Structure 1
Amino acid sequence: MGPAWVRDSGLSADGDVLIELEPEGPQRDDLADDVRAALEDSPAAAAFFDTLPQYYRKAYLRWVDATTRRPEVHAARIAEVVRLPATGIKERPRS
């Protein structure tokens, strides 16, 4: 903790602080059931998806969510969310 943070927080420099760390961004438990099931069926894709920074995970999920009214496109995009990370590609296609 820097001096400004300590000064503004009301804590003393020699005091103890409890810090809790949490994963950032959407985790697998936060995903829609169909996306989570597809990732669970492909361990390689799931493992790579879990290592992606939140920016890439959110981009994939927004890309899939944009098709909720078109089931055939929705299913195709979920398949891409599995196929691309399984091959080590972190960015979704630009469409």
Structure 2
Amino acid sequence: MDNEKDFIVLTSFVAGGIIIASGLAAVLQRWEVIPVTIFAIIIFPLILLQSKKKIVHLTENLENIIFIITLFVIIIGFIVLYKPM
């Protein structure tokens, strides 16, 4: 990603837009959107610092961890929703 600095900046603008949009939705409508805002606040600096090798390695590890957590949440969701009566 060293050669794609413009892509990193544009992606960080998207993350900033997510922070603003989900923050407004959380304040004006419901507090259920707050996890999206928190996630965007966490991910924004990681996207902005993708030109550093250490950060790239960190985000790849975080991606794997989040994938495994998401997989477990989906499995648990199916077990809870479709348990026999």
Q: TM exceeds 0.5?
A: no
The structure number with the bigger radius of gyration is: 1
Instruction: Give the helix-richer structure, 1 or 2.
Output: 2
TM-score scaled by length of structure 1: 0.26
